[in-house]
Structure 1
Amino acid sequence: MSYPQLLTPEEQLASAKQKLNIPQIIAICGSTRFMQQMTDIDRDLTWDGFIVVKPGCNMKEPNILWADPVKAEAGKVRLDDLHRAKIRLADAVIVVGDYIGDSTIAEIAYARSLSKPVRFTHPEIDPGEPDNDPAASEDTTR
């Protein structure tokens, strides 16, 4: 008697996206100092038929939601968790800008640990794989 192979959650998600005819999902990562560039890339990719997920809060700009330092710190943790969920949902990642900080480096490492393709608007900033071997970093944004 043969038993059906159980799919991993990732395989189940990929199968469901295919069955539902969900377009490819792209996660935009990068410093929020590049929010305008992220918005521009979001527009272009959306126009090309992709679903785009990106940071939705720029905590570098004053806002009542994160004016209280205690709430801001809790919010940052929540937003980081949310962005990792966006990366899990995505089929690929695009890193925007010519600078990457610690948070973006962590996002790149996370995406690569999930075998997500990671592309860069500025390939020269690619920190490479954990073994310092740069990944394929062709610019897929145009």
Structure 2
Amino acid sequence: MPDRPEIVCICGSTRFVDEMRAANRDLTFAGVIVVAPGEADAVITTGQKAALDVLHLRKIDLADRVLVVNPGGYVGESTSREIAYARAAGKPISFTDPV
């Protein structure tokens, strides 16, 4: 038995916030520690977006694996960057939908 639960970082477009919340819930109830993108209630600035993008890469660093939430196979520019970062770090990556 592991010393701690698995840590999964959720990645995906913010347009899929409901799907990411569902994945977070399902993983959490399965005993997984989930790190996910931050959410904002309002439009964010370019500077805030850049800071959040860097923060999300640190979340990938913490994770044992990455789950990409990609309904319909959609993977945008930011998510593609995160996937490349995770691959370079040797993190296993899975997708909710075929790419």
Which TM-score applies when normalising by structure 1? 0.64
Flag the structure with higher strand content: 2
Q: What is the letter of the counterpart of residue 63 of structure 1?
A: A
Structure 2 stretches lacking a partner, 5+ long: none
Find out whether 1:39 has 2:21 as its counterpart: yes
Q: CA-atom RMSD, angstroms?
A: 1.4
4+ residue runs over 3 A deviation: none
- Deviations 1:49-107 (CA, angstroms, capped at 9, x unpaired): 0000111225xxx616x2xxxxx011011100110000000000000023111111110
Indicate the residue corresponding to 2:84 in structure 1.
109
Indicate the residue corresponding to 2:54 in structure 1.
81
Indicate the residue corresponding to 1:27 in structure 2.
9
State how many pairs are aligned: 96
Structure 1 stretches lacking a partner, 5+ long: 1-17, 67-71, 126-142
3-state SS of 2:94 partner: strand
Indicate the residue corresponding to 1:55 in structure 2.
37
1:22, distance to aligned residue in structure 2 (A): 2.5
Which protein has greater RCO, CA pairs closer than 8 Å, 6+ apart?
A: 2
- Deviations 1:97-120 (CA, angstroms, capped at 9, x unpaired): 231111111100000000000000
Give me the identity figure in percent.
50
3-state SS of 1:52 partner: strand
1:32, distance to aligned residue in structure 2 (A): 0.6
3-state SS of 1:22 partner: coil
Which TM-score applies when normalising by structure 2? 0.90
